[in-house]
């Protein structure tokens, strides 16, 4: 993350890559311009030949460096970056789904993703079918009966409940649905844990999606998205991105490059803090349940999956307070150090009320079935001193 894909001698000895703030690039000849466009439109490159720079909607040196570094984390063939997490998700769905397809998806998912899957995709003739939370392989396969499944879309851990879903199970099902002409893609939203604490490609996923606004950006000062995966799965998304114009911009790419250097440090510090906070909350008389991966123990139905699939617990905690919305609001309104704001993965700790904020647009019946209750608060723990966080939460709970 400190230097991969860049050498100072390429840019006047600059230690850090410059910001390539340009819309277009100059060709050395008309023939070169022709060849660059041929490659951009899918021509096979000659041995050792690489696509040339044309226009920053297609490619840009700074963006390419960031994408190369993202590949390292999950040993991916290729990565793409986008103007937002939702741009990454929407571009991926549009690239790989067609009218008449079915998308099998987990629930809950982020509210914006839920809206696209349940409300927008059906307008294009794409049927969403929810995968039950605890499902067997046979039941999973049965969901696909008489359907043309184009994608299995998983958010794990789920936002905001931290429910895990088995990526390897999804891949086994996808392989069984392969008719020799097409296998459903397995796509994982890895925003909550990855790439430090979960690497979906290792478990059979074709694509790993990120809201790069969160941990990858890490400072609550940018909006971005990313997808990493196999060349075969990435290529259609790259073409769709070019023509939809959902590309990341050079300045944000530079900010992401800065952030990737401290990603491992930030995520481990935040996870250490979150563990301490979760342990305190689990023993508090005003707290009904605490859903945090670090608290899973043997005997819990999700424990074995966590040990097999995850490399750490992350730093998002779902806390259900005794009572309902009024109690949740009193808790949120009395936090001081922890800010009342949506998003997560920054250096600062944030708290929000999913049922009326990030998941407000989700059908109330779906929210309730998924455990997104009126008393649920989502805490995204940052890198502050843990004693300050514990004191702030204790103070707020005293007002509930």
Cα separation of 72 and 187, whole Å?
Answer: 19
Is pLDDT of 249 > 90? yes
Q: Which two tokens stand for residue 318?
A: 């779902």
pTM summary value: 0.94
Tell me, what's the pLDDT at 40? 86
Going by C-alpha positions, the residue among 336, 312, 313, 331 that lies closest to residue 321 is: 331
Tell me, what's the pLDDT at 41? 84
Is pLDDT of 240 > 90? yes
Cα separation of 262 and 383, whole Å?
Answer: 12
Cα separation of 8 and 4, whole Å?
Answer: 11
Residue owning tokens 């600059």: 14
DSSP for residue 370: T
- The average confidence (pLDDT) of the chain is 96
Model confidence pLDDT, tens digit, residues 371-389? 999 999 999 999 999 999 9
Cα separation of 209 and 95, whole Å?
Answer: 14
| H-type alpha helices, 18-84 | 30-40, 61-74
Q: Burial level of 193, CB count in 10 A (0-12/13-18/19+)?
A: buried
Tell me, what's the pLDDT at 134? 83
Tell me, what's the pLDDT at 318? 97
* Contact between residue 309 and residue 169 where contact means Cβ atoms under 8 Å apart: no
Tell me, what's the pLDDT at 293? 98
How crowded is residue 180: how many other Cβ atoms within 10 Å of its Cβ?
5
* Contact between residue 346 and residue 216 where contact means Cβ atoms under 8 Å apart: no
Tell me, what's the pLDDT at 236? 96
Tell me, what's the pLDDT at 30? 97
- Sorted by sequence, the CB contacts under 8 Å of residue 134 that are 6+ apart come out as 301
Cβ-defined contacts of 117-122 (< 8 Å, 24+): 117/93, 117/153, 118/363, 121/93, 121/97
**Residue percentage of the chain with pLDDT more than 90:** 93
* Contact between residue 103 and residue 127 where contact means Cβ atoms under 8 Å apart: yes
Q: Which two tokens stand for residue 25?
A: 């690039």
Q: Which two tokens stand for residue 182?
A: 């097409």
Q: How many CA atoms lie within 13 A of 287 on its CB side?
A: 20
Q: Which two tokens stand for residue 384?
A: 């502050």
Tell me, what's the pLDDT at 205? 98
Tell me, what's the pLDDT at 282? 96
Model confidence pLDDT, tens digit, residues 212-235? 999 999 999 999 999 999 999 999
Model confidence pLDDT, tens digit, residues 50-89? 889 999 999 999 999 999 999 999 999 999 999 999 999 9
Tell me, what's the pLDDT at 170? 97
Model confidence pLDDT, tens digit, residues 174-226? 999 999 999 999 999 999 998 999 999 999 999 999 999 999 999 999 999 99
Is pLDDT of 269 > 90? yes
H/E stretch holding 394: helix 386-397
Tell me, what's the pLDDT at 43? 87
DSSP-assigned beta bridge partners for residue 153: 105, 187
Sign of the dihedral through C-alpha 70, 74, 80, 82: negative
Q: Which domains are seen in the chain, by residue range?
A: 8-22+60-260 (3.40.640.10), 263-397 (3.90.1150.10)
Cα separation of 310 and 75, whole Å?
Answer: 16
State yes or no: cis peptide before 108, omega within 30 of 0: yes
Q: Burial level of 187, CB count in 10 A (0-12/13-18/19+)?
A: buried
Sign of the dihedral through C-alpha 388, 389, 392, 395: negative
Q: Which two tokens stand for residue 290?
A: 């605490």
Tell me, what's the pLDDT at 153? 98
Is pLDDT of 32 > 90? yes
Is pLDDT of 393 > 90? yes
3-state SS, residue 97: coil
DSSP-assigned beta bridge partners for residue 102: 127, 149
State yes or no: cis peptide before 342, omega within 30 of 0: no
Model confidence pLDDT, tens digit, residues 119-160? 999 999 999 999 988 889 999 999 998 999 999 999 999 999
């Amino acid at each position: 993350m400190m230097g991969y894909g860049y050498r100072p001698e390429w840019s006047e000895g600059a230690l850090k890559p410059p910001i390539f703030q340009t819309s277009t690039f100059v060709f050395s000849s008309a023939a070169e311009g022709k060849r660059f466009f041929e490659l951009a439109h899918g021509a096979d490159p000659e041995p050792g030949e690489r696509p040339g720079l044309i226009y920053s909607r297609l490619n840009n040196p700074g963006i390419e460096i960031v994408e190369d570094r993202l590949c390292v984390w999950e040993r991916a063939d290729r990565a793409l970056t986008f103007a937002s997490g939702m741009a990454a998700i929407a571009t991926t769905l549009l690239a790989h789904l067609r009218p008449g397809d079915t998308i099998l998806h987990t629930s809950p998912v982020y509210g914006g993703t839920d809206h696209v899957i349940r409300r927008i995709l059906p307008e294009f003739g794409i049927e969403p079918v929810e995968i039950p939370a605890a499902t067997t392989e046979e039941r999973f396969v049965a969901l696909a009966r008489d359907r043309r499944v184009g994608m299995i879309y998983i958010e794990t851990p789920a936002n905001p409940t931290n429910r895990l879903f088995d990526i390897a199970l999804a891949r086994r099902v996808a392989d069984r649905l392969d008719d020799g002409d097409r296998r459903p893609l397995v796509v994982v939203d890895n925003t909550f844990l990855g790439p430090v604490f979960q690497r979906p490609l290792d478990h059979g996923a074709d694509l790993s999606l990120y809201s790069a606004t969160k941990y990858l950006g890490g400072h609550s000062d940018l909006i971005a998205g990313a997808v990493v995966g196999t060349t075969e799965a990435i290529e259609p998304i790259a073409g769709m991105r070019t023509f939809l114009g959902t590309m990341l911009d050079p300045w944000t790419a530079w900010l992401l490059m800065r952030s990737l250097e401290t990603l491992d440090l930030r995520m481990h510090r935040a996870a250490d803090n979150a563990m301490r906070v979760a342990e305190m909350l689990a023993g508090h008389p005003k707290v009904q349940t605490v859903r945090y991966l670090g608290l899973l123990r043997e005997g819990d139905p999700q424990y074995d999956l966590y040990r097999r699939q995850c490399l750490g617990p992350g730093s998002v905690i779902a806390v259900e307070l005794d009572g309902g919305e009024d109690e949740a609001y009193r808790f949120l309104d009395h936090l001081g150090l922890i800010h009342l704001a949506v998003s997560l993965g920054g250096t600062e700790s944030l708290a929000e009320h999913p049922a009326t904020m990030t998941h407000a647009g989700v059908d109330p019946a779906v929210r309730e079935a998924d455990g997104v209750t009126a008393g649920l608060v989502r805490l995204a723990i940052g890198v502050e001193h843990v004693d300050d966080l514990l004191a702030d939460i204790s103070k707020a709970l005293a007002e509930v």
